[in-house]
Structure 1
Amino acid sequence: MKIVTICGAGIGSSGILKVNAERVLRSLDIEATVVAADIASVKHVAADAQIILTSAEFVDAIGKTFADVIVVENYFDTDELRSKLEAALA
């Protein structure tokens, strides 16, 4: 499974989201590759992704995709991330 975290530059908030997603996935015993990327490269990087994690401001820019786009309100809230990932993977 591939999960892509998206933000404007691909190094700030997407990096934080990547680390927290990996932490949550480990606790759920789910193997996945998590990649942080910027919005400009989303079409290329997320072409084979099953899930895209991002904030509400980037949803329109992601455009049409086969991945589940999950909007995360608080990148530091691992409980929110856990519940949203569990729902997407169910």
Structure 2
Amino acid sequence: MKRIMAVCGSGLGSSFMVEMNITDILNELGVSGDYEANHTSLADVTSGDADIFVTAKDLEDSASHLPNLIVLDSLLDKNELREKLKEKLAL
């Protein structure tokens, strides 16, 4: 199972919200059995924690060491997240 990690500054509110949105989108796309979503803080994340990482535009530079990074212009835009996930997952 591949892992998708939502990353924010504190590892609490916004990353948890993005994790829930990722889970919803994986269910919508019918691939939830292939992926699991989690969340963490930028301070605690390492490149081995997941296969794909998702973060906000304001953390892009700080998270640039993470592989397969999805950078969101808006954490609230579920459509943006869906399109970028589909592209990264090649769906």
Q: Answer whether TM exceeds 0.5 for this pair.
A: yes
**2:74 corresponds to 1:74:** yes
Distance 1:81 1:61 in 2: 20
Aligned pairs, how many?
87
Determine the C-alpha separation between the residues in 1 that align with 2:4 and 2:63: 14
Query: Does 1:14 find its partner at 2:15?
Result: yes
State whether residues 52 and 68 of structure 1, in contact with CA within 8 Å, keep that contact through their aligned partners in structure 2. Answer: yes
Equivalent residue for 1:33?
A: 36
Runs of 4 or more consecutive aligned structure 1 residues displaced over 6 Å after TM superposition: none
Name the structure with the higher helix share.
Answer: 1
- 1:8-60 Cα deviation digits (max 9, x unpaired): 110111011111111011000112111110010111xx414111000122222
Task: Give 5+ residue unaligned stretches, structure 1.
Answer: none
Q: Cα RMSD between the aligned structures?
A: 1.4
Q: Flag structure 2 segments of 5+ consecutive residues without an equivalent.
A: none
TM-score (norm 2): 0.86
The letter of the residue matching 1:85 is L
Query: TM (normalized to structure 1)?
Result: 0.86
Relative to structure 1, the CA distance from residue 78 to residue 63 in structure 2 (aligned partners, 3 Å threshold; closer, same or farther) is: closer
Aligned residue type for 1:89: L
What is the identity percentage for the equivalent residue pairs of Structure 1 and Structure 2? 31
* Alignment partners' CA distance in 2, 1:30 and 1:76: 22
